[in-house]
Structure 1
């Protein structure tokens, strides 16, 4: 028996159905945007009955939220290198790699283009809040080690890290290379470099 067979059996049918539904939800989002996701279409893509979806998720908004959180946790794990700068670099590189994939690009654009539907807006806000709560442990560890002031705003620091990456991915479409990630992290931690006579005046 192969390792893959063991993993499939360990999760059981419920885990396989959940995985298939979440994958189908991501595919639907990538194709139609968050506004265009429908339970019937997701069930068809996943090869399950609609009732199997409704038993686990009571609304399409909950389904989208679960799919995004599950995928982001797989693709964007929170590092623990022992140094804040290295944590932020590793996390920034993961975000850049995620944004560079076809699915990551499509999902990000889909979330950005979501309309003013109240339920979808709440789902989007909950997604980002959950991501910040998971990632802010990097900032808290940095505070505990004395790498940041004790009153540093963890949510703001994380926004300042990921916003330039999303700006390039969504607006300017410029490449997000490793040098750009390093520049972003170092500017976040130390400010803009000062050089030349004008900086000493």
Structure 2
């Protein structure tokens, strides 16, 4: 039941947006009564937070192409693909104003940054980046141009956007503008 409700919530969120999402429609899509949802989630905000957290908590493959540029390109392109799906757009929708979702997003990104640290560690070991490059700051610098377009300007993002983000992040790291504190 829980899986069906969470999947239904994602579908409703991506179909109607956060402002159009109702417990009644999620229940109908999941094939449960709305009281079942209210017994498990106190409100729509909690349901949305759980649904998005579960959807994006899946394991992401960390690339090992042999070069930092190749690894960062794979990460950036993966981010573009993920965030341009219907669920990715939902994560960037009105739902971002939910306090519970802010925590979910923070934990999600902290986890993603931690998992991607080996990309920077390997690059430092190969001499491609300065020894004290801050992995998290490099990854934030990589993601920033993509998120700026998605969140603020509404411009389309694609592989070219991802590749440009890689060049910006590498230039900053090599400057070296991203040293560990």
The 2-side partners of 1:83 and 1:155 are apart by 18
Name the residue aligned to 1:96.
80
The 2-side partners of 1:136 and 1:82 are apart by 15
What TM-score do the two structures reach when normalised by structure 1? 0.64
Structure of larger gyration radius: 1
Whether 1:132 and 2:113 are equivalent positions in the alignment is yes
The total of aligned residue pairs comes to 169
The 2-side partners of 1:147 and 1:121 are apart by 34
Kindly tell me: are residues 29 and 51 of structure 1, through their superposed partners in 2, closer, same or farther at Cα, counting changes over 3 Å? Answer: closer
> Residues 138 and 169 of structure 2 are in contact (CA less than 8 Å); yes or no, is this contact kept in structure 1?
yes
The 2-side partners of 1:62 and 1:179 are apart by 36
Give, in angstroms, the shift of residue 153 of structure 1. 1.4
**Which residues of 2 match residues 1-201 of structure 1 at below 5 A?**
17-30=1-14, 31-33=16-18, 42-48=26-32, 50=36, 54=40, 64-72=48-56, 77-112=61-96, 114-115=97-98, 117=99, 119-191=100-172
Kindly tell me: are residues 58 and 188 of structure 1, through their superposed partners in 2, closer, same or farther at Cα, counting changes over 3 Å? Answer: same
Kindly tell me: are residues 120 and 100 of structure 1, through their superposed partners in 2, closer, same or farther at Cα, counting changes over 3 Å? Answer: closer
Kindly tell me: are residues 59 and 149 of structure 1, through their superposed partners in 2, closer, same or farther at Cα, counting changes over 3 Å? Answer: farther
The 2-side partners of 1:58 and 1:147 are apart by 50
> Residues 78 and 135 of structure 1 are in contact (CA less than 8 Å); yes or no, is this contact kept in structure 2?
yes
User: Which ranges in structure 2 are unaligned for 5 or more consecutive residues?
Assistant: 173-181
> Residues 62 and 75 of structure 2 are in contact (CA less than 8 Å); yes or no, is this contact kept in structure 1?
yes
What TM-score do the two structures reach when normalised by structure 2? 0.70
> Residues 17 and 93 of structure 2 are in contact (CA less than 8 Å); yes or no, is this contact kept in structure 1?
no
